[in-house]
Structure 1
Amino acid sequence: MTPTEPKLISGNANTPLAERVARRMSMHRGRKVGLVDARVERFNDGEIFVEVFENVRGEDMFIIQPTSNPANDNLMELLIIADALRRSSAARITAVIPYFGYARQDRRSKARTPITAKLVANMIVEAGVERILTLDLHATQIQGFFDIPVDNLYASPIFALDVKHNFKNQMDEIMVVSPDVGGVARARDLAQRIGAPLSIVDKRRGKPGEVAEMTVIGDVKDRTCLIVDDIVDTAGTLCKAAEVLLEHGAKEVHAYITHGVLSGPAIERVNASVMKHLVITDTIEATKPVLATDKIRIVPTAPMFAQAILNTSNGTSVSSLFDHETLGPIYEGMYSS
């Protein structure tokens, strides 16, 4: 059967985001777009059970499910939902994974270690998923782990809109900073979009989770520094980088991080840090402590995901969303002067 209108189904990982995507698609369509009625629950022993209450035969299905904490439970929900849809004769199954967990295990860094990102990719494909839609993969080469199409969207166009709105009177003072050498390409992308110079904080780790030494490459004196990265986990490196930048003469420090994992002491560290603000997206559902702090601000990804889903379903370009000028009308009103 030929797919018609896209249909959305959500696991439990980030239902608020799925509902916002559905509302946004309703605006585009001029009629209500809701989530497919289903139950995703656990038995007493922790087994996950999925039941879809609507007919999905011949439908173009989109599963919205980040594999964030608890990563294993949310990954299993994604796999089981995909299997349920495949056995219900869905025409096509696309996994919308705003945050792709296990992406940091994308290579063998030591002897006798796994490449778990590849294993997860194999499981997703085997479950019946035919296309992936995600945001800011930790390592872009993970796209090659899949034998199906992968659309990796970028947060930098949204961040560019946010920066131009919130720093419009001091754009000449902006310095984009990569917190490590490996993230230079991501930081450079935002720097080019807003016409700002680029600096790098070179870090050397003592052991995992701890930073032994940091060196700033570039002149940040009297600059408003924006640290750009894809993941903030325990926030130790981020807060240390902010301190080092101020020690090197930066006027103030803000951070733009796509995925706010924010585990362990992260919230306490951010609150106590010298950073003015930490800006994250809503790819991972915000906890109460995240919502309670004034130092963390959340920018929405639902408008972009809604448009990407519609473009995918219609067979039109998704790469058009890489341009902040294209995203501007989608976010119209949110960043108006």
Structure 2
Amino acid sequence: MLNIRLFSGSSNVLLTEKIGERIGIKLSEAILNKFSNNETSVQIKESVRGKDVFILQSGYIGVNNHLMELLIMINACKNASSARITAVLPYMPYSRQSKKDNNRVPITAKLVADLLHIAGANHIITMDLHASQIQGFFNVPVDNLLSEPCHISWIKKNISKWEEITIFSLSVSSAERVANMANTIKVRFGLIYVERKEASEQIIVIGDVVSRTAVIFLDIIDNCDLVISSVKRLMEVGASGVYVIATHGMLSERLMKEVDDSIITKLVVTNTICQEKYVKQSDKITCLDVSVIFAEAIRRIHYGESVSCLYNNLLA
């Protein structure tokens, strides 16, 4: 793969290195610095003229710095005559701001899409977008990869009698996707619904969970209040144990303490966001490596092969 260049921003170097190892290339060198006034400085240290460039940058802590860093790296490669520039966003920043749900509220995900295009990105790779309509915000092709193969593999290897579990969605908006996942491995599907009346709220469980292991699936976790309340409710109605699986784990000291003090059996996240610090702090946290999915997607895009077909092998 002599015509490819893989760069990493500062947000998730470990994931980029794993992707590089899987496709058999070294990370290309770029110097990332800050000026005294905190402006971002980027220098691409090797030729990218006529090359197929992939730049990986996620974002959680310091998201605005990471986004600006990515935009400058893309623009630097564009000005250096790259043949194509693909922005690899394992977690797309501002993806939860994808609709106008109040007066005078911006659709910030659309703004981010415009900025990436203006900077010079010709292609976008991301994973488990919070809302599928975000793909329509871009004027360039978007590959929204699925973490589903990694989650299914973990469930089959780590949950005893996994054939008898019930997978729950925490929202109506994600119900179709979670139902498809349940259908893929032929297990039962359920929905957890929060009914709010004036100052009170009631958690309603729809689905068979008595004497079964429940798995709550969601794309992003950064606040455990609803999750822990849902776990308690599932146990009250007869669940034998509850696992929580999320693609993008926005872990923090507060969230870690809430998980450790809760009756959650296990919280499973992926390394779309760097989790190294927090995984070491708790036995209840497991981090899945999604580098195999990104590496295969990058290889297929570079050679002009179908990306959708990669799931046939991963789910086999």
- Percent same amino acid at aligned positions? 39
Please state whether the residue corresponding to 2:49 is helix, strand or coil: coil
2:217 corresponding residue in structure 1: 228
Q: 1:34 to 1:176 in 2, by over 3 A?
A: same
Counterpart for residue 195 of structure 1:
186
User: Is 1:55 the counterpart of 2:47 in the alignment?
Assistant: yes
Please list, as runs of the form range in 1=range in 2, the aligned pairs for 1:162-311 lying within 5 A after superposition. 162-167=154-159, 169-204=160-195, 212-263=201-252, 265-311=254-300
CA-to-aligned-CA distance 1:248-307 (integer Å, 9 cap, x gap): 100100011000012462111111111110111000001523331110101101111011
Separation in 1, partners of 2:177, 2:16? 26
Describe the SS at the equivalent of 1:292.
Answer: coil
**Amino acid of the structure 2 residue aligned with 1:188:** A
Cα distance in 1, alignment partners of residues 219 and 44 from structure 2: 34
Q: Secondary structure at the match of 2:275?
A: coil
1:328 shift after superposition: 5.2
Cα distance in 1 between the residues matched to 2:272 and 2:246: 11
Distance 2:163 2:50 in 1: 53
Of 38-47 and 135-144, deviating more is: 38-47
Matched ranges for 1:133-148 at <5 A: 133-148=125-140
Structure 1 segments of 4 or more deviating over 4 A? 204-207
SS in 2 for 1:271: helix
Q: Is the 8 A contact 1:157 1:193 kept in 2?
A: no
Q: Which runs of 5+ in 2 are unaligned?
A: none
3-state SS in 1 of match to 2:174: helix
- The aligned residue for residue 334 of structure 1 is none
Distance 1:230-1:14 versus aligned 2 partners, 3 A rule: same
CA pair 91-272 structure 1, distance change in 2 beyond 3 A: same
| 1:5 shift after superposition | 2.8
Cα distance 1:204–1:12, how it changes in 2: closer, same or farther (>3 A)? farther
CA contact under 8 A between 1:236 and 1:266: conserved in structure 2? no
Determine if contact 1:279/1:299 at 8 Å carries over to the other structure: yes
With over 3 angstroms needed to count, the CA separation of the structure-2 counterparts of 1:293 and 1:16, relative to structure 1, is same
Q: Are the aligned partners of 2:251 and 2:275 in contact in 1 as well (CA < 8 Å)? A: no
Contact 1:40 1:48 in 2 (8 A): yes
Matches within 5 A, 1:54-73: 54-73=46-65
**1: CA distance between counterparts of 2:197 and 2:46?**
53
Do the aligned residues in 1 keep the contact of 2:166 with 2:208 (CA within 8 Å)? no
Tell me what 1:98 maps to.
Answer: 90
Structure 1 unaligned blocks of 5 or more = 27-32, 330-337
Q: Which of 132, 145, 149 pairs up with 2:124?
A: 132
Q: What's the offset of the Cα at 1:189?
A: 2.1
Q: Which secondary structure state, in structure 2, belongs to the residue aligned with residue 191 of structure 1? A: helix
Provide the rounded CA distance (Å) in 2 between the counterparts of 1:211 and 1:156: 35
Counterpart amino acid of residue 16 in structure 2: A
Who is 2:311 aligned against? 322
1:173, 1:222 within 8 Å by CA — same for their partners in 2? Answer: no
How much is the aligned-residue C-alpha RMSD, in angstroms? 1.9
Mean alpha-carbon deviation: is it higher for 292-301 or for 212-221?
A: 212-221
Q: Compute the TM-score of the two structures, normalised by the length of structure 1.
A: 0.90
> Contact between 1:68 and 1:100, CA under 8 Å: does it hold in 2?
no
CA deviation vs aligned residue, 1:12-31 (integer Å, no higher than 9, x gap) = 010011011111111xxxxx
Instruction: Specify the code of the residue in structure 2 equivalent to 1:98.
Output: P
SS at match of 2:48: coil
Give the Cα–Cα distance (whole angstroms) in 1 for the partners of residues 58 and 301 of structure 2: 18
Over residues 41-82 of structure 1, what are the superposed CA-to-partner deviations in whole Å (9 max), with x where a residue is unaligned? 211211000001101100000001113221111110110000
- Counterpart code for 1:225: A
User: Are residues 100 and 205 of structure 1, via their aligned partners in 2, closer, same or farther at CA, if it must alter by over 3 Å?
Assistant: farther
Which SS does the other structure have where 1:78 is aligned? helix
Q: Tell me how far apart the structure 2 counterparts of residues 112 and 263 of structure 1 sit (CA, whole Å).
A: 30
Larger displacement relative to structure 2 (286-295 or 216-225): 286-295
Structure 2 equivalent of residue 29 of structure 1: none
